[in-house]
Amino acid sequence: MKTFPLLVLVCTIFINCNRRFARQIEQDEKMTMTAGIHAAPSLFAKNANWGGDVNMYIVYRNLSGLEENTVAIDSIGRFDLYITKASLVRCTGINMPLLVKPGDELQASMSENGDVHFSSLNNAKRSKELKNWEILMDLFNTYLWQYRSESNLSLPADLRNTNYQQIAEARYARFLARSEATIDSVFTSDSENADLRHASSKYIRAKFAATLLDYYWLNRKDFSKSELIKYLESVTPLANDIQTTDDLAYYNDFLSELTAHFASTKGSYIRVVDRSSFDTFLSSSKIYFHGITRDFLITKTLYSAVRAKIISYPEYVSLYETEVSDKNYRYICQYLGKKINNNEVIATLTAPDSFVPFDRKQEVSGQELFTQFKGRLIFIDFWASWCIPCRKEMPQLRMLKRQFADKNIGFVSISLDNSIPDWEKASEVEQLDKSGNMLLKASDDTTYNFMGYAIKEIPRYMIIDKNGAVINADAPAPTDPALRPLLQRYLKDL
């Protein structure tokens, strides 16, 4: 008689856990502001060792490592990171990662020799952690350089040795042990340093694994195809030992590279660009990996394919339901699929004039745009590949789309490029969705008209109501704090 209540309790706990994870996905996507980077004046001061303006980007991943986000740092001041947990971020131009925690208020500044340093604005202990982290990363970079140098110097002898693989793996283990010992010397083993010890250990393991992989791959011409696959397979235990989605953030680049190498042995594929490469990446993910790593790579492959319109939405659903085992990644697939299919329509190009859709390369009228957005608020971004201020707004525009993904609003990006190749390249860099990306054609060599408005300067933003009428012809930019409350107010009036 006691079995039934126990079963009910277990089911209730399971359902609550699933709901909690579903809410976490939505939180990760909407991303409340959780950390800030402040650009110190010294970052932009010209000195003997630095002759120009700083152009630095912080790159980080959200949604269990699937989506990459960027924040541009310039002289404006504060820039926000949208993270929900301690996250490893990469800074362009800086040869080290940075571990940022929710609630951090950090300052980026430049030393006399041109090195960028980070410190906490309100926490002396956190500043010390950042300094120790920097010391550790500098040592790691030295070890990686020594490791690569030793591998390259020993290459001729290694290739002649029948124990090539054992030699490479022994060298990997030796340098990894040295790095682990360094972690012990920099961070004590108390609970306060647990997250830093864990992050630095995972990071260096991923970096050395990637270097070992490069060692095999760069010498592939000296092996037969079967030998190369054997060497690649010898690295997969490092990937298959991953236990949590948090750890995947450290191994993301390594896993992407390893999967691409397996795919390349079957067709020289670098990424998912068509049906053939999709099938190859999917089969490689299933053959060589297992556990949470397998589910992550399958989810990443499916996500890339459905975004690029390589597979249909129904096929996407069918595949993730049959191929993805981990319940967390099944929820992620479900959430991403619905968002892509229903919410994240990123149109570009419109007007009473004509447009060139990215995915069709043929002219259409502006009326087609409003048909797909009928009954919704529309936020329009006028931009071009050559417009630096426009491009600097793009990371925050991506955040805005995620934050309003479940709202009755469509986001439209209208390019004023004259060169289709330049437009295509910039669209790929800025992660604009092909299904809606369009190019506004000029009425003549210099005139761009949109719904009776002459577009003379960009960036420029407009808001259109559900009936297709312009209600704000000069809206705030995505980085302007006034924009989000404004959109919320217009949405209430729909």
pLDDT in tens, 127-153: 999 999 999 999 999 999 999 899 888
* 410 and 487 belong to one structural domain: yes
Of 444, 404, 386, 396, whose CA–CA distance to 26 is shortest?
404
Any domain includes 5: no
What CA–CA distance (Å, rounded) separates 477 from 404?
Answer: 15
* 263 and 332 belong to one structural domain: yes
115: domain CATH number is: 2.60.40
Which residue reads 């060692």 in tokens? 215
More confident of the two residues 464 and 442: 464
- Beta partners for residue 36, in sequence order: 80, 105
pLDDT tier, 74 (very low <50, low <70, confident <90, very high otherwise): low
Residue-averaged pLDDT of the chain? 79
Any domain includes 22: no
Averaged pLDDT for residues 342-348:
35
More confident of the two residues 80 and 287: 287
pLDDT in tens, 214-268: 888 888 888 888 999 999 999 999 899 988 888 888 888 899 899 999 999 888 7
Residues 6+ apart with CB under 8 A from 68: 59, 60, 61, 431
pLDDT in tens, 184-203: 888 877 777 888 888 899 89
The residue range of the domain holding 143 is 137-342
What is the pLDDT at residue 220?
87
**Quick one: tokens of 228?**
């190369």
* 173 and 269 belong to one structural domain: yes
Query: Is residue 97's pLDDT more than 60?
Result: yes
Runs of H (alpha helix) within 31-62: none
How many domains is the chain built from? 3
What is the pLDDT at residue 366?
56
Residues 6+ apart with CB under 8 A from 22: 331, 335
Query: Is residue 409's pLDDT more than 80?
Result: yes
**Quick one: tokens of 70?**
């960027």
DSSP letters along 54-91, please? --EEEEEEETTTTEEEEEEE-TT-EEEE--SS-EEEEE
Burial bucket for residue 262 (CB in 10 Å: 0-12, 13-18, 19+):
buried
370: domain CATH number is: 3.40.30.10
More confident of the two residues 94 and 47: 94
Q: Which of 45-54, 293-302, 392-401 has the highest mean pLDDT?
A: 293-302
Any domain includes 23: no
Domain boundary among 316, 342, 368: 342
What is the pLDDT at residue 356?
47
Averaged pLDDT for residues 72-94:
75
What is the pLDDT at residue 193?
83
What is the pLDDT at residue 52?
53
Query: Is residue 47's pLDDT more than 60?
Result: no
* 323 and 453 belong to one structural domain: no
Domain boundary among 122, 145, 179: 122
**CA distance from start to end of the chain:** 54
Residue 412 identity:
V
CA dihedral (331, 334, 337, 342) positive or negative: negative
Any domain includes 20: no
DSSP-derived secondary structure letter, 379: E
What CA–CA distance (Å, rounded) separates 456 from 310?
Answer: 37
Domain boundary among 342, 375, 395: 342
pLDDT in tens, 291-314: 999 999 999 999 888 877 788 888
pLDDT tier, 347 (very low <50, low <70, confident <90, very high otherwise): very low
What is the pLDDT at residue 89?
87
* 373 and 468 belong to one structural domain: yes
Exposure string over 67-104, b if 16+ CB within 10 A, otherwise e:
bebbbbbbeeeebbbbbeebbbbbbeebebbbbbbeeb
Of 344, 255, 352, 250, whose CA–CA distance to 294 is shortest?
255
* 163 and 310 belong to one structural domain: yes
Runs of H (alpha helix) within 339-465: 366-372, 388-403, 420-429
Which residue reads 């709901």 in tokens? 19
What is the pLDDT at residue 352?
38
Of 198, 203, 42, whose CA–CA distance to 117 is shortest?
42
pLDDT tier, 369 (very low <50, low <70, confident <90, very high otherwise): low
What is the pLDDT at residue 28?
54
What CA–CA distance (Å, rounded) separates 176 from 187?
Answer: 17
Residues 6+ apart with CB under 8 A from 339: 29, 405
Averaged pLDDT for residues 326-355:
60
Residue 476 identity:
P
What CA–CA distance (Å, rounded) separates 114 from 56?
Answer: 13
pLDDT in tens, 460-477: 999 988 887 888 888 999
More confident of the two residues 355 and 18: 18
Any domain includes 321: yes
What is the pLDDT at residue 262?
93
CB of 99 closer than 8 Å to CB of 88: yes
What is the pLDDT at residue 10?
46
- Strand-pair category, 364-365 with 354-357: antiparallel
More confident of the two residues 60 and 206: 206
Is the preceding omega at residue 459 within 30 degrees of 0, hence cis? yes
What is the pLDDT at residue 417?
78
Query: Is residue 49's pLDDT more than 80?
Result: no
Q: What percentage of the chain carries pLDDT values higher than 90? A: 22
Residue 229: how many other CB atoms lie within 10 Å: 16
CB of 136 closer than 8 Å to CB of 65: no
pLDDT tier, 5 (very low <50, low <70, confident <90, very high otherwise): low
Any domain includes 128: no
Counts of helices then strands in the chain (DSSP H, E): 15, 18
* 70 and 185 belong to one structural domain: no
Q: Where are the beta strands (DSSP E) in 83-183?
A: 87-91, 97-100, 105-110, 116-120
What is the pLDDT at residue 493?
80
What CA–CA distance (Å, rounded) separates 151 from 287?
Answer: 29
pLDDT tier, 26 (very low <50, low <70, confident <90, very high otherwise): low
Averaged pLDDT for residues 318-337:
88
* 118 and 219 belong to one structural domain: no
* 298 and 443 belong to one structural domain: no
* 222 and 269 belong to one structural domain: yes
What is the pLDDT at residue 291?
93
What is the pLDDT at residue 429?
78
More confident of the two residues 318 and 339: 318
Any domain includes 371: yes
What is the pLDDT at residue 423?
79
* 253 and 268 belong to one structural domain: yes
Residue 411 identity:
F
Angle at 211 between CA 207 and CA 216, to 5 degrees: 150
* 325 and 394 belong to one structural domain: no
Any domain includes 131: no
pLDDT tier, 181 (very low <50, low <70, confident <90, very high otherwise): very high
Residues 6+ apart with CB under 8 A from 466: 374, 375, 376, 377, 494
Which residue reads 């890339």 in tokens? 304
